[in-house]
Amino acid sequence: MELPFAESYKIKMVETIRRSTREEREEWIKDAHYNLFKLKSEQVFIDLLTDSGTGAMSDKQWSEMMLGDESYAGASSYFKLKDTISEILGFPYFLPTHQGRAAENVLFSALVKAGDIVPGNSHFDTTKGHIEFRKAKAVDCTIDEAFNTTVLHPFKGNINLDKLEDVLKSHPKEKIPFIVVTITCNSSGGQPVSMENLRGVKQIADKYGIMVVFDSARFAENAYFIKTREQGYAGKSIREIVAEMFSYADAMTMSSKKDAIVNMGGFIALRDKALFEKASVFNIMFEGYITYGGMSGRDMNALAQGLREGTEFDYLETRISQVAYLGNRLVDFGVPVQQPFGGHAIFVDAKRFLPHLPKEQFQAQTLAVELYLEGGVRGVEIGALLADRDPETRENRFPALELLRLTIPRRVYTNNHMDYVATALANVFERRNSIIKGLKITGEAPIMRHFTVDLARE
């Protein structure tokens, strides 16, 4: 018999989680103003809010924590991380930051000014936030297939190169500080970008003399998809694919909380010395001296080790197979999800799940609340709440997709947990026609409102 798939690790330490009753959850979600960010973690049984900083570090990473050098300047931990970044990602310069958005803040402070245009593939919300905060504009050039959850396309994170070239053609070069490519593309459903597309972006960028920056939070998952889906890459190692991917970037921002499997951390890596020096000034102002930039020595050590483990094939296969396991269970129950499945999450299509609710009643958030009530499972809305208001007109932006993201932390839950989640959502799906009222906003922040928004039942 062919041997079945099994995880490439075993469990050394466990953490107790507690189930709750529906009555308790009714109370808690009301107190949280129907915003799942406002729940206490003990009020959640299975937490699929994010895969960011929620992974389980390995024994080797914890060992590295003990070897951290906490010197203010010139710590050995800094050089360990610098060498690892140079070896795996191929960048000669790097700046540590406390997380991904801090890397954006530092790099964009050096590059983005009011009136600029930053084209890319469905910019992540913090990326867009940092662009719009500087009174610049993020222009989405993602391929159209990404916005139809039923279309099967192996690389739904791809940039439409014609759209991109149109943007570059129609604006002066000085107005476009860089193109940002998010790998994998979180906002379109954890969807990968093909090597061919990355190469194409770089060719067009070179033609117009514009920099390419990768938003790299899930670069290793992107490499896994290239290996398993793109012709010519099956025989290459993840590390070889990663090296080629980054050869098409001039700089990168990284949220290390994802594919580098640490609980906190980020960095910027670059090729250009002058830009490194310019960004260093902002790093020192916002994050810390350039050899720690918001990170402890021990955390830089764990991050260096995490970059190695996160780019191993066996680990990635375990990771992405678990996400697909949940996706397949949901498909079997008839639940509409973004396909093919993403790398870090299953994205449930709330417009197809609750078609009878108007978009003004926040379908994906309504579904997130229903799933929480059903089983104590916390997902996250990727829809109109996250899309926020247009900075100029202040009108609500209604994106093409209303998604409920079920984000799987790395090396944390078992497939029994995935079965539980799938069954809970299937139960909601069965009673979907009885969900006749959505939610309305009762209070919101001027930017990045989804974290703190207060809602009430319609």
Catalytic residue annotation: 72, 124-125, 215, 217, 258, 450
To ligand F0G, the closest distance from the beta carbon of 416 in angstroms equals: 24
To ligand F0G, the closest distance from the beta carbon of 8 in angstroms equals: 24
**Residue 254, token pair as written in the block:** 């990284």
Which residue's CB is nearer to ligand F0G, number 49 or number 357?
49
437 to 46, 354, 355, 366, 370: CA distances (angstroms) = 25, 10, 12, 8, 11
Distance CA 445, CA 441 (A): 11
Distance CA 256, CA 437 (A): 39
Which residue's CB is nearer to ligand F0G, number 217 or number 323?
217
Which residue's CB is nearer to ligand F0G, number 266 or number 327?
266
169 to 15, 88, 173, 215: CA distances (angstroms) = 54, 34, 9, 23
The residue number with the shortest CB distance to ligand F0G is: 100
At 196, phi and psi to the nearest 5? Answer: -60, -40
To ligand F0G, the closest distance from the beta carbon of 248 in angstroms equals: 17
Which residue's CB is nearer to ligand F0G, number 69 or number 215?
215
- Overall size of the chain counted in residues: 458
To ligand F0G, the closest distance from the beta carbon of 6 in angstroms equals: 28
Strand partners, 185: 191
To ligand F0G, the closest distance from the beta carbon of 101 in angstroms equals: 3
| Of the candidates 168, 142, 51, 132, the residue with the CA atom closest to the CA atom of residue 400 | 142
CA 421 to chain centre: 21
Interface residues toward ligand F0G, by CB under 6 A: 50, 52, 99-101, 124, 126-127, 182, 186, 215, 217, 255, 257, 266
The SS3 call for residue 114 is: coil
Which residue's CB is nearer to ligand F0G, number 357 or number 404?
404
